[in-house]
Amino acid sequence: MAKAKPEYSIVSYGIYDHWDATSKILPKIQTFTTEIPARTEIEFGFILKALRAKGKKCQFTINHPGILNNKGKPLAPFVGEEYVSSNDWQFYLGDTLWLPLDDKLGDWHMHIEIEGQIVAEKTFDIIPESALGEARFWKSRGF
């Protein structure tokens, strides 16, 4: 009998409660959205669910917009890896914003790759809080 193939899905995405990297508890979703207001310490990202993938290596990447490091050079994408530890596994990939906020505006692309294949990805648009209010105003009127 053939072994069942792994399945991957995004459980939630958007703005989350504060995440503690040292805890095994994943953050709770506050708002499903890809538009993130530019606010310090706002937590955003997505949660991947992997079924029947125990032992596989998960590689993740967060591509920031034109953020510069303290030497004025573009910040390299944040990359890392994690091993799937169970056959019903969830993983939070996210980030937060810090001062100054001006260079954090734009598209933040996050993706997770397993065995050379992208299994989950989201792009979050970081926008000034004032623009978000205007967008909600027009959206509520049908535009």
SS3 31: strand
pLDDT digits (tens, 9 = 90+) for 3-19: 789 999 999 999 999 98
Residue 24 confidence class, pLDDT cut points 50, 70, 90: confident
pLDDT digits (tens, 9 = 90+) for 36-93: 999 999 999 999 999 999 999 999 999 998 888 888 888 899 999 999 999 999 999 9
Q: What is the structure's pLDDT at 143?
A: 52
CA pair distance 50, 8, nearest whole angstrom: 5
Residue 136 confidence class, pLDDT cut points 50, 70, 90: low
- Among residues 62, 58, 37, 38, which one has the least CA distance to residue 48? 58
- Among residues 66, 60, 128, which one has the least CA distance to residue 95? 60
Residue 110 confidence class, pLDDT cut points 50, 70, 90: very high
**CATH number of this structure's domain 7-140:** 2.60.40.2390
Domain boundaries, given as residue ranges, for the chain: 7-140
